[in-house]
Structure 1
Amino acid sequence: MVSISANTAVADDVHAHSHEEKRKNAIKGAFFSEYIDMFDIYLPVVVLSPVLFYFQPPNLSTATETILASLVFITTLLGRPLGALLFGIVADKLGRRKASIYSVSGFGVVTLLIALLPGYQTLGVGAYILLVVLRFIDGIFLGGGYTGAMPLAIEYSKKEKRGFVGGLIIAGFPAAYVSINLVTMLMFALFPLSGMDSPYAQWGWRIPFVIGALMAAGLALYYVYKVSESEVWQSESGEIRQKVPLHDLLKGKSARNLLQVLIMMSGFWLTQNIITIFLPTGVLLHTLHLSGFEMTATLIISYSVLFFSYIGSGLLGQKIGRRRFFVIVGPLIATLGAAILWALLHVPNLSLPTIMLLVCLLAVLVTSPWGVIVTYINERFVTDVRATGFGLGFSLSVILPSFYAFYMEWLSALMPFNLTAVVLLVLGGLIGTVGALMGPETKDVDFSTH
């Protein structure tokens, strides 16, 4: 009898250790999936922007150059919702792990193909067309990269740790941004850029793309050999997994949940875009006239701070509740955040340390919801549609806020242009708050019954 009890205890210990190992591996996989996803997303913005002339006809007007440059980034964004839908369905029907392996392998291959692209001198306008097409395809795979990985990690997390895990996963974004800037600075130092025939223009820019492709290959192998399928997903009956997730998402309770998430996320994407896209060029470069080095240093410091603030937001959301967190932070973004942005745009003669401090405060406040968002959206959907719901809720909501520059242009007919970004920040904070108020608290959701 004693022997049987001892054997049972040993078996329980082995099972517990195995489950803990699966949990850690799933969380690591989700963090690196976010890190590599963001590394690849920002490759054209940071690495390729200085040499887009390599792919374009010579002697273009400034307006045409701006449009062509924006297409490289926008096509990736447009591919993300499609990827979230396709790979969300794969994750809900075939498993989170398979969706992660397929999507990561896909964007690794496409990123490598971009690194091998010839320029305008070789292929003419076909070089630019190939770049845009590959970035669109890359966006599809990138959109699927986190659709499987993040639900898998959240489903493996203990209920009381889900807030920390969500914050840690999204911290992969600022970590990637800092990394890609440091890699690019190294490339510029090793391979100077001085015209079409310079080392950076011919092949220096290709090295970060190869690094991104190799990291994706490593992550795919990690999921193959180290990450186990979600036990929560496996516990669903085969009959449920045969359903079409999109059909269930568009009716009944799941449809209402998706609508609520889309409204909330549209608000927080709008505030996020003001900080991550408009702030660097519209504020730091064109309004405050920082040098390239000063702007890069300011952004690297602020993104380094964000790595820790995202984790802190996740922990705070776990303590006080995700919904309450959004309802508190949304109005703060619309008031305090808007005041800080107004100061950066209108107060003259700010010193560089003051600018750095204000940018850090603004970035921490305005982007703080993202430390809670990953966990919250996963908790809003039942298991059989969770990956599809998370993917669409996260990615589809980015489309309307991505046209923030057009909204600023329209608003400039009614007010000074520099005030338009402040107004959009207020609107985004309020929309995010309204969206959060439309939904329930989720921190006590039990995945085994949800």
Structure 2
Amino acid sequence: MKALTADNVARDGSESAVDAKRRNAIKGAFFSEFIDMFDIYLPVVVLSPVLFFFQPPHLSGGMEAILASLVFITTLLGRPIGALMFGMVADRIGRRKASIYSVSGFGVVTLLIALLPGYESIGIVSYWLLVLLRFVDGIFLGGGYTGAMPLAIEYSKKEQRGFVGGLIIAGFPAAYVTINLVAMLMFVLFPLNGVNSPYAQWGWRVPFVIGALLAGVLALYYVHKVAESEIWESETGESSEKSEKLPLSDLIRGKSGRNLIQVLLMMSGFWLTQNIITIFLPTGLLVHTLHLSGFQMTSTLLLSYFVLFFSYIGAGMLGQKIGRRRFFVIVGPLIATVGAALLYVLSNVDGLSLATIMLLVCVLAVLVTSPWGVIVTYINERFVTDVRATGFGVGFSLSVIIPSFYAFYMNWLGAFMPLRMTPVVLLCIGGVIGMIGAWMGPETKDVDF
């Protein structure tokens, strides 16, 4: 009887230790996504009003637009590179180490951006340093989730993977709301009125310092609290035989190669629909078409992102219940029909009240971005342990490049139809591509790691 009790105590202790590792890994992935998105939105929300601080005075409007776009495009270009680099690191030497290296990297780079002098101090070099640092930042940001997310999913119980994936991606809307609230506080504390105003000189730097500090805290959290994936250690480990193999070579051939093509196709569709909501809708629709004031637009977006925090978790749980593949195959056509109809109403019906606009934007955002509550779990389930981090990173990040040129596609379509119809058509195309890509793959919710 005593021996049996001792066995029970030992077993309970072992289960408690595993549960603790699981919780720590999931928390780490959530905050990795949160800090990743916080850093990505820093130039969009905080730096956009003061880009003149880094640029020569009296630029033409066209040149200003080009220089501004480079700050954001370079980050975009860095993300797939980082996803590939750190994905291979995560598959060769461990998910935990990849997370520590990448988080530490973008923490340091973010702090360096906060310390940059302006054009008045070092001339145009100031702008090019900003562009270079954002590119390097993009590399580290692209690696931020390639270790953290596979680590959390591998620790999750099979029946809870859907919830965990939805919870992790909910860090995205949480970060958006947070960075906007921080930016609003900075504008109050440091008024913006020209290159010598408090915000231009100091105010924009504070959120970057906050982002760097958050990254430092997360790196320490992974060092002291998060254990390496037991699945990775048991199946891959760090044996000399395994470490000599490059995950990329295994990823692009055989079954994993076919899986990657399917994931890239599906993700291209859902990145296109996502970009319509997260990039085009705020300025192209709410400002230029509906002519909302800055306060009205910010209020509408903050409300929609607050709702998205919960809808991502709900989508993950629904995908767990009905199946990830079935979820995508159902939601894709809904985006192409119901989502497109909602966007058409917002784009073409005059006289909508602010309350109606807010409601339609929330419903549209929940529907169109719902696949993202399932995507994190699904992509991790599509790849075997040896190449899971690399497959997830490449499948998630490389697929963003083609959809990111949606503005060019809108201009091309504008030759055949009214410009207001072009985002509606792109939403239809993206939903259909996402559905076809998902239909080509298998169901994954019962996959064993």
TM-score by length of 1: 0.98
Question: Within 5 A, what are the aligned runs for 1:371-410?
Answer: 371-410=373-412
How far apart are 1:10 and its partner, in Å? 1.2
Which residue number corresponds to residue 258 of structure 1? 260
* 2:136 counterpart letter in structure 1: I
Which residue number corresponds to residue 316 of structure 2? 314
* 1:278 counterpart letter in structure 2: F
4+ residue runs over 6 A deviation: none
Question: Within 5 A, what are the aligned runs for 1:217-296?
Answer: 217-237=216-236, 238=239, 239-296=241-298
Can you list the C-alpha shifts for 1:143-179, whole angstroms capped at 9, x where unaligned?
A: 0000000000000000000000000000000000000
Structure 2 unmatched ranges of 5 or more: none
How far apart are 1:286 and its partner, in Å? 0.4
Q: Does 1:354 align with 2:356?
A: yes
In structure 1, distance between residues paired with 2:412 and 2:104: 41
In structure 2, distance between residues paired with 1:20 and 1:406: 48
**Number of residues paired by the alignment?**
446
Question: Within 5 A, what are the aligned runs for 1:158-197?
Answer: 158-197=157-196
* 2:403 counterpart letter in structure 1: P
Which residue number corresponds to residue 117 of structure 1? 116
In structure 2, distance between residues paired with 1:93 and 1:40: 27
In structure 1, distance between residues paired with 2:256 and 2:67: 39
* 1:319 counterpart letter in structure 2: K
In structure 2, distance between residues paired with 1:59 and 1:336: 46
Contact 1:178/1:300, CA 8 A, preserved across alignment: yes
SS in 1 for 2:416: coil
Q: Does 1:446 align with 2:448?
A: yes
How far apart are 1:4 and its partner, in Å? 2.5
Contact 1:241/1:384, CA 8 A, preserved across alignment: no
* 1:136 counterpart letter in structure 2: F
* 1:355 counterpart letter in structure 2: I
Which residue number corresponds to residue 22 of structure 2? 23
How far apart are 1:409 and its partner, in Å? 1.0
How far apart are 1:355 and its partner, in Å? 0.3
* 2:23 counterpart letter in structure 1: K
* 2:8 counterpart letter in structure 1: A
In structure 2, distance between residues paired with 1:242 and 1:180: 42
Structure 1 unmatched ranges of 5 or more: none
Contact 1:29/1:149, CA 8 A, preserved across alignment: yes
Can you list the C-alpha shifts for 1:10-37, whole angstroms capped at 9, x where unaligned?
A: 1111110000000000000000000000
Q: Which moved more, 1:59-68 or 1:249-258?
A: 59-68
In structure 2, distance between residues paired with 1:397 and 1:417: 25
How far apart are 1:241 and its partner, in Å? 4.6
RMSD (Å) for aligned C-alpha atoms:
0.7
SS in 2 for 1:285: coil
* 1:117 counterpart letter in structure 2: L
How far apart are 1:9 and its partner, in Å? 1.4
Can you list the C-alpha shifts for 1:41-87, whole angstroms capped at 9, x where unaligned?
A: 01000000000000111111111111111111111010000000110
In structure 2, distance between residues paired with 1:318 and 1:112: 39
Of residues 327, 340, 343, the one that matches 1:341 is 343
In structure 2, distance between residues paired with 1:240 and 1:317: 34
Question: Within 5 A, what are the aligned runs for 1:94-105?
Answer: 94-105=93-104
How far apart are 1:414 and its partner, in Å? 1.1
SS in 2 for 1:42: helix
* 1:178 counterpart letter in structure 2: V
Which residue number corresponds to residue 84 of structure 1? 83
Can you list the C-alpha shifts for 1:407-446, whole angstroms capped at 9, x where unaligned?
A: 1111111111111111111100000001001100000000
In structure 2, distance between residues paired with 1:46 and 1:224: 31
In structure 2, distance between residues paired with 1:311 and 1:445: 20
Q: Does 1:42 align with 2:41?
A: yes
SS in 1 for 2:235: coil
SS in 1 for 2:286: helix
Can you list the C-alpha shifts for 1:288-339, whole angstroms capped at 9, x where unaligned?
A: 0000000000000000000000000000000000000000000000000001
Of residues 328, 331, 341, the one that matches 1:329 is 331
* 2:301 counterpart letter in structure 1: L
In structure 2, distance between residues paired with 1:223 and 1:129: 33
How far apart are 1:3 and its partner, in Å? 2.8
Which residue number corresponds to residue 299 of structure 1? 301
Taking every aligned residue pair, what percent have the same amino acid on both sides?
78
